[in-house]
Structure 1
Amino acid sequence: MFRCVYQYFIACTEDRETKNILSHALDLAEQHIKVISGIFKEEGHSVPAGFTDDDVHPDAPRLFSDEFFLYYTEQMAKGALVTYGAILPLTYRNDVREHFMSCISSTMELMNETKDLLLSKGLEVRSPYIPPLAKPEMVKGEHFLAGWLGKQRPLTAIEITHLFANIQTNYFGGTLVTAFAQCVKDEEVKQYFVRGKQITKKHTRIFSRYLQENDLPAPVTWDAEITDSQEPPFSDKLMMFQLNMMSAAGIGNYGTAMSASPRRDIAADYSRLLAEVGLYAEDGAQILINHEWMEKPPHAADRDKLIK
């Protein structure tokens, strides 16, 4: 998928420094495809069909700004690091472990390059600052966990971090589905994207309220980074897959944030919104299945079927 995405991004971008970042990302995607395909073939597994040149239209008009290409790369690198970090401890073969260690190292390099360029261009929005603790303090009483009634304690650093990050990812997702909705061809997929836009607006509003109540700044939206083009740069299949992948990442983000948020009201909101994203992702998976866009992953043998 990323090979197709970055082919289009590179064809559109005008800024030289941004193009260097995008070319680096494309090189990594092609390297990863080559290594993983080699392992699959070596073991006699069929290589996933994935996406082809038919799924990208490099000559399509610009749909996003150069700045959004950098935001996209930063967000995808963050998600990749989480994925690789989760997979690595579960692998046993030395060559597979070495591959994922290499993936982590190269993706960290890409993320740092992207973040440095965003900072140098004044485009990166920093997370809120908090005053340093003068000395260690112990929690006293259950007020630390309370959240619905009475006076609420200030947000902890980790709660702020997750709220800020989840606002950013929702703004990012909202920008992506808005752009996709204005150019997608299939009406069912279009309505699915519109629904996703409404969900991201709702979630950013809820998360932003917590920061505002603590006099903390919230991230800014990226909707201005979309052009008025209605010509799709990607196939409906690729755009649906991209959104379904982001929904899965969002579920993971909310689960992690919920476990790190002692305040009951915040944890309850994460739980409720996680369920909403889960239902949305399930509906997206059904669309992929209905259009025969979802590949069947490797699975255990059906012994009952084999016995018959």
Structure 2
Amino acid sequence: METEHPIRLTSAELSSLWSNYMFDSMSICVFTYFLEKVKDEDIQPIIQQAMNISIEHIDTIEQIFADEGIAIPIGFTEEDVNTEAPQLFLDTLFLHYIKHMAKGGMAMYGIILPNIIREDIREFFSNCLASTTELYNESTSLLLSKGIDIRPPYIPYQKDVSFVEKQNFLAGWFGEQRPYTGQEVMHLYANVQTNKLGEALSLGFAQVAKLKKVRSFMQRGKEIANKHTDIFANYLRDYDLPVPMTWDHEVLESTESPFSDKLMMYHISLLNGSGIGNYGSAISMSQRRDLITSYTRLTAEVGLYAEDGMNLMIDNGWLERPPHASDRGELIKHKR
């Protein structure tokens, strides 16, 4: 039970609310464009559901910040979306996008929620997790009903219990190699899917970005995503496991941007962070040394790409400063 006197937001609560505001303000711009362009009557309600969730999040966070006397971020506004631009992605990519963004949201809220203490903020993020889970389920069901979602690979049921007896269970570079565990298959397959989505978005953004440096950055991102997809796909093919389809064909030929370069750069930065998190999860659930080594190496590559993206955003004045700890040394220095 909360005490009656005001309880300040902790660093976890403040930073999570701030980050959520930035993400949802971006999402509103994206969904506004999607709603303007979508033609499939089955997909339109899912986009509207996603939009309503983001609007509700923004309204709640703005009220919390106002009550606490916290500056509301600029985030992204109607200036960052151009609904008059031609359709850049097919309707089916809209649906894949919502499913995978909801998937990332569930993972994010699962990390945030255990670090939240204040009751009203716990309730907010609990509701975020519930509504995002519902959105994921709705979008997945629609994808399956349309026959355009592919289930992860099947592996045999175990008929009896056994124990690992050989050290080569951990091997992967030389000598006898075991097939992948179900967890390893799950992460390989999921990372193929997320990289394919990143590749499609980067391709579309590269076509429409205004600044040459942004176009080059997006093209580089497409190449990295394609490379990582091939690596994970080859691991799956080694044991005759299916590889998810590509979504490049769902990117249309428009060169007029529906989004600001600032929004697209921020979006790719989110995907980079999510990708690094996905690889970290995969490392924690993999035992084969070759998989761990690949994930570690590819994480470093994404990290360098993400750093270059942040520098590009800083150079253009697009990166809002997030909540941060006080620099006590600097405060003391100015006092003299």
1:127 matched residue in structure 2: 152
Separation in 2, partners of 1:105, 1:145: 38
1:13-70 alpha-carbon deviations (Å, 9 max, x no partner): 0111100000000000000001111111111110111001000001110000000000
1:274 matched residue in structure 2: 299
2:88 matched residue in structure 1: 63
Separation in 2, partners of 1:203, 1:49: 34
Separation in 1, partners of 2:251, 2:114: 39
1:211-235 alpha-carbon deviations (Å, 9 max, x no partner): 1010101111000101110000000
The alignment's C-alpha RMSD in Å is: 0.6
1:199 to 218, 224, 233: 224
Q: What letter is aligned with 1:188?
A: K
Q: What letter is aligned with 2:42?
A: E
- Is residue 2:133 matched to residue 1:117? no
Q: CA deviation at 1:174?
A: 0.2
2:56 matched residue in structure 1: 31
Correspondences of 1:32-181 after superposition (within 5 Å): 32-181=57-206
Q: What letter is aligned with 2:162?
A: E
Flag structure 2 segments of 5+ consecutive residues without an equivalent. 1-25
1:182 matched residue in structure 2: 207
Correspondences of 1:4-23 after superposition (within 5 Å): 4-23=29-48
1:251 matched residue in structure 2: 276
4+ runs deviating over 4 angstroms = none
Q: What letter is aligned with 2:179?
A: P
Matched pairs, number? 308
Q: CA deviation at 1:100?
A: 0.3
Separation in 2, partners of 1:111, 1:88: 18
> TM-score, normalized by length of structure 2?
0.91
Separation in 2, partners of 1:173, 1:84: 21
1:243-294 alpha-carbon deviations (Å, 9 max, x no partner): 0000000000000001111000011000000010011111101111111100
Correspondences of 1:207-286 after superposition (within 5 Å): 207-286=232-311
Separation in 1, partners of 2:297, 2:65: 39
Separation in 2, partners of 1:159, 1:299: 36
Flag structure 1 segments of 5+ consecutive residues without an equivalent. none
The alignment-based identity, stated in percent, is: 50
Q: CA deviation at 1:207?
A: 0.5
Which secondary structure does the structure 2 equivalent of 1:127 belong to? Answer: coil
Q: What letter is aligned with 1:120?
A: S
Q: CA deviation at 1:141?
A: 1.6
